[in-house]
Structure 1
Amino acid sequence: MASTSFKPTLRLLDATMLVAGSMIGSGIFIVSADITRNVGSAGWLILVWLITGFMTLIAAVSYGELSAMYPKAGGQYVYLKEAYNPLIGFLYGWSFFSVIQTATIAAVGVAFAKFTAYLVPAFSEDNVALDLGFLRISPAQLLSILVIVVLTFINTRGVKSGKGIQTTLTLTKLISLFGLIIFGLFALKPEIWDVNWANAWELRSLAADGGTGSYTTIAALGAIAAAMVGSIFSSDSWHNVTFIAGEIHNPKRNIGLSLFLGTLIVTIVYLLTNIMYLGVLPLQEIASADKDRVAVSAAQVIFGHAGTFIIAVMIMISTFGCNNGLIMAGARVYYTMANDGLFFKKASVLNNAAVPGFALWIQCIVACLWSLSGKYGDLLDMISFVVVVFYMLTIAGIFILRRKRPDLERPYKAFGYPVLPVLYILMGLTFCGLLIIYKPKFTWPGLIITLLGIPVYYLVKRASRKK
């Protein structure tokens, strides 16, 4: 017999681990290479992570007000719908389903498979498992699909199954990351550290082959924005906990608190990890790491040959846990959209384990298709722009809702209002504006995907009226 309502079984620790676990995937082990190529110095590498961390914390404490006002499944989709109108909410949900969440699940799944190949070379992305002529499929892609299907099945069995995996794996990877940081700091080489920080604030390009280049003042801002694409991708998905508000015990208190605690923990871990990188690897080695796998290069210095396998296991744990959180949370958005008549009707039904089983499986199918396409990585770069646009719209929604719904209960109010929310919007506008000018390939495709949702919205609305 199907359940008619969610069961509030997640407590503060579970919610915090969902925030942290959804944020920490493979990015922190990889993207510092591209950031270093864009900014070319130790000070700017750390500053890019600091700016991203600061923006993420501001957004998290701002979302706390919204989550306390609307403590139900759907999260950001609900906030946008309530602050603006159903179309804006749908455009977010459409982007979320078509690319943001599903392509992220695919990318994290393939990252799991790529690092599994260090232990089992047969899973290498360079091998060909199936050649269809128009499409070559690697064992890494097939393993990614298997992981996505298995985690989806586990989550259809109930939120308790998903939360057990999430909390255990997130605690494991946090302990492992802190262990890597501590061992790395013990292995710190003063001569490397001193050279890396000799010209700490010289902003320049640093090519993998050792070549350097200078920037004009405006181009330098564009380089910082391009560098932040990687750090924002690594810090994204922190808001996934808001999607499962209906399953969190005392959501008016615990969602806002878990957002703050989870993002703070991850921001500290990311900063310390990059400080560790700068203590054991010359900047040039960070910029030119094989396939951008900076963590592997660092672990080889710290642990010797065994370092490769240590990092491979860490990333397997990290990406497996990350995908569990993404899969668990994402389906709740489609459930809420379906209840509003804006998604497949079956997605609005909870199964006998009190979870949206159909929504989980349809999400699984799209994520598996992205895994097969091999284009998920490009799309994630493109969608970073749109993700920040929706964050800005949501935070601006706090101002709108204070005017529109002044009498609505607000158990928690945005910290630093109005200064911090305005600061986030200004920083977000600067980031997006610079990407439009200097990195259009990161902007227009994501905008086009989002805007395609407009005709889809009206088609869905028309079909809904005919029923």
Structure 2
Amino acid sequence: MQLLRSIGFFHGNILLFCVTTGAGIFVSPKGVLKYSSLNIAVSLSIWAACAVLTIISALSLAELGTTFPRSGAPYYFLKRSLGSSVAFLSLWIKFFIYPLGIATQSLIISTYIIQPFYTRCPAPELPKKCLALAILWSLGLLNTRGVLTVAWFQTISVLMKITILCFISLTGIVLLGTGKKENVAKFENSFDAELPGASQIAEALLQGLFAYSGTSILINIAGEIKNPGENIPKALITVLPMVAVVYILVNISYLAVLTPQEIISADAVAVTWMDKVRLPFIFGSIAISLFLILTPMIHSPKVEYIYGFIFIFSGLLGYRLHVHLNQRSVCFDKITCYLQLLFNVSPPEDQDEGISTGKKHLEEIFL
């Protein structure tokens, strides 16, 4: 029995990009900035250093995948070079580390899914854990269908991630390009801020490297990659520099919108960033609505559209008469009170005023 080599260069790139750009980019900026003593220049330098270290480490591991093109190449290499006891110890560590990492990323994903529903407070723990468990079960069932099925799923996931990360990056570039003082001021004289110590830099590097975790995925599945001697190095050289550029642009965008204090105090940095930005979505929604409304009217005008305009302007006429000119009608007041009593709706903001006003209207209606 032998595993099929069904993953080519394209799916290898997709798989590497998807696994590398996990949930880390949405949580690591907080830790990197914290251990960089809130120094923006140092934090961006840490991200660049993490990119260089990741590429060096990945290319070193790629030699294992090309020399021993089989699944679990690191274990095979350790067993042949240092003995079975060292290889077993490596598996023993990964046996606990990998599930912990997957569980952490699942919790991060569930936090980002749930947090928008709790804009003014942290999301409760129980829904986050239940959703994270559901994500784990779904991924487990998906992996039973084979690596090629997972690769197609990763393709869809990569498109979603690229869309989100490119949107964040381009928004930051636009905000900095406009030259607004509050956006650019954070980057001026950034090297004059407090510098972190050696231990803090080490902690910041560990936080940044967490966002790059997963680069060994192609080496671990080398036995299922077509022509691994060529495709593994090409995929690493193609994908990792692109991921590094995206990560740095995303962090610049975070810093262009949020203050360092807001970043380190946020449970979900991207959600907080989105709360401070919302406008591109508004303009996009308006543009789509105008397109859907005006395009049929211009290309295929119909008499029904005139009726629609008459209906809309009749509402404006009623507003002008009854609200703006304060020409109130007793009939409409009675209808409103009847409907409020029937459906128990529209409570007033001022309860005391509402009770007195409601009693007055009820007396007018029934007396």
Matched, 1:61 2:79: no
1:286 is matched by which residue type in structure 2?
Answer: I
Q: Deviations over 1:384-436 (max 9, x none)?
A: xxxxxxxxxxxxxxxxxxxxxxxxxxxxxxxxxxxxxxxxxxxxxxxxxxxxx
CA gap of 1:75–1:264, structure 2 versus 1, over 3 A, is farther
CA contact (8 A) 1:35 1:228 kept: yes
Q: How does 1:72-221 map to 2 (within 5 A)?
A: 72-98=70-96, 100-118=97-115, 126-127=123-124, 138-188=126-176, 190-202=180-192, 204=194, 220-221=197-198
**How many corresponding residue pairs?**
277
Residue 78 of structure 1, CA deviation: 2.3
Matched, 1:8 2:5: yes
Q: How does 1:12-31 map to 2 (within 5 A)?
A: 12-31=9-28
Q: How does 1:33-432 map to 2 (within 5 A)?
A: 33-39=30-36, 40-98=38-96, 100-118=97-115, 126-127=123-124, 138-188=126-176, 190-202=180-192, 204=194, 220-288=197-265, 290-291=266-267, 293-304=268-279
SS in 2 for 1:83: helix
CA contact (8 A) 1:38 1:227 kept: yes
Residue 195 of structure 1, CA deviation: 2.5
CA gap of 1:187–1:195, structure 2 versus 1, over 3 A, is closer
More helix by share: 2
CA contact (8 A) 1:33 1:287 kept: yes
Using the size of structure 1 for normalisation, the TM-score is 0.55
Residue 286 of structure 1, CA deviation: 2.6
CA contact (8 A) 1:77 1:92 kept: yes
CA contact (8 A) 2:5 2:226 kept: yes
1:43 is matched by which residue type in structure 2?
Answer: A
CA gap of 1:89–1:259, structure 2 versus 1, over 3 A, is farther
**Quick one: percent identity of the two aligned structures?**
26
SS in 1 for 2:148: helix
RMSD (CA atoms): 2.3
2:28 is matched by which residue type in structure 1?
Answer: V
CA contact (8 A) 1:192 1:282 kept: no
Distance 1:125 1:103 in 2: 23
CA gap of 1:76–1:191, structure 2 versus 1, over 3 A, is farther
2:271 is matched by which residue type in structure 1?
Answer: V
Residue 306 of structure 1, CA deviation: 6.2
CA gap of 1:184–1:303, structure 2 versus 1, over 3 A, is farther
Residue 126 of structure 1, CA deviation: 4.9
Q: Deviations over 1:329-384 (max 9, x none)?
A: xxxxxxxxxxxxxxxxxxxxxxxxxxxxxxxxxxxxxxxxxxxxxxxxxxxxxxxx
Residue 233 of structure 1, CA deviation: 0.9
CA gap of 1:148–1:275, structure 2 versus 1, over 3 A, is same
Q: Structure 2: state its 5+ residue gaps.
A: 283-367
Residue 120 of structure 1, CA deviation: 5.9
Residue 115 of structure 1, CA deviation: 1.9
CA contact (8 A) 2:106 2:135 kept: yes
**Which residue in 1 is equivalent to 2:286?**
none
